[in-house]
């Protein structure tokens, strides 16, 4: 069964091909939580590392033609070694080029889960949800959005916002934990994609539980960080969020989780 304790015991290697803005924050966040990050961006290196990895993150935040090919190479290698890959389609609704890249990856390579905000997931399924680039967007029914995307792609979907939703094989839950400070620190969404990638391979027979645990650990740590001294200030919050990721436990999740079944 997927849990924080299991993550810390296994300390899975997580290959993060992510955007330049968030690499340091992502690496520190994963180490604090208990995973082992590697920011590898070279095909030959990936061939050696991915055979030992528990997960792969593809985050298209700083997109170039070279990176597009790197994503393809990484996904081919990951599939060869049966490593689950998480796609973070950053700002895919903001430009035709980004959408073309994401469509290529989803249509031609094996993706194990998609993690995006409401605007990004809405763009993937053809819904016009207002958002500005990488900013999240509020929707009336985030559970329904997750379900639509899950049915379209037939892979697990994680949609984030003020309320988060997870959809796997037609089953949907919404998660009502988190902090309003999260959007005020650049990289919190991108780090979440890496956290999802660190959990997704822990229990391949129960991906739903793995995704739920990843979001709850992340969001509850975010709540704890805001409550610490000066946690209402972005600079302090960033540091305290890393500290809280280090300290959050399975007991905290059981005590504080706010999960609803979507009907």
Scan for tokens 């610490």, then name that residue. Answer: 228
187 is in an annotated binding site: yes
DSSP E strand boundaries for 61-170:
85-88, 113-117, 157-160, 164-168
- Which residues touch 153 (CB under 8 Å, ≥6 apart)? 106, 111, 114, 124
| Phi, psi torsion values for 16, nearest 5 degrees | -115, 105
Chain-centre distance for alpha carbon 225:
19
39 is in an annotated binding site: yes
115 is in an annotated binding site: yes
| CB contact burial 241-259 (16+ within 10 A = b; e otherwise) | bbebbeebebebbeeebee
Enumerate the known binding-site residues for substrate: 39, 187
Enumerate the known binding-site residues: 39, 115, 160, 187
Enumerate the known binding-site residues for ATP: 115, 160
């Amino acid at each position: 069964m997927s849990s924080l304790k299991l993550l810390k015991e296994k300390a899975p290697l997580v290959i993060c091909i992510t955007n330049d803005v968030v690499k340091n924050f992502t690496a520190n966040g994963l180490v604090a939580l208990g995973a082992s990050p590697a920011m590898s961006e070279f095909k030959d290196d990936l061939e050696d590392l991915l055979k030992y990895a528990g997960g792969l993150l593809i985050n298209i935040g700083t997109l170039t033609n070279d990176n597009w090919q790197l994503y393809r190479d990484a996904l081919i290698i990951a599939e060869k070694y049966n490593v689950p890959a998480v796609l973070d389609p950053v700002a895919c609704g903001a430009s035709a080029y980004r959408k073309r890249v994401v469509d290529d990856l989803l249509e031609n390579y094996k993706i194990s889960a998609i993690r995006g905000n409401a605007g990004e997931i809405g763009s993937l399924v053809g819904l016009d949800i207002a958002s500005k680039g990488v900013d999240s967007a509020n929707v009336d029914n985030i559970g329904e959005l997750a379900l639509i995307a899950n049915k379209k792609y037939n892979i697990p979907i994680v949609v984030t916002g003020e309320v988060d939703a997870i959809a796997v094989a037609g089953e949907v839950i919404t998660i009502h934990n988190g902090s309003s400070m999260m959007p005020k620190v650049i990289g919190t969404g991108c780090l979440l994609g890496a956290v999802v990638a660190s959990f997704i391979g822990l229990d391949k027979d129960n991906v739903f539980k793995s995704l739920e645990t990843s979001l709850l650990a992340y969001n509850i740590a975010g709540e704890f960080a805001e409550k610490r001294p000066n946690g209402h200030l972005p600079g302090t919050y960033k540091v305290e969020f890393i500290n809280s990721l280090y300290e959050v436990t399975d007991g905290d999740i059981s005590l504080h989780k706010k999960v609803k079944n979507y009907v």
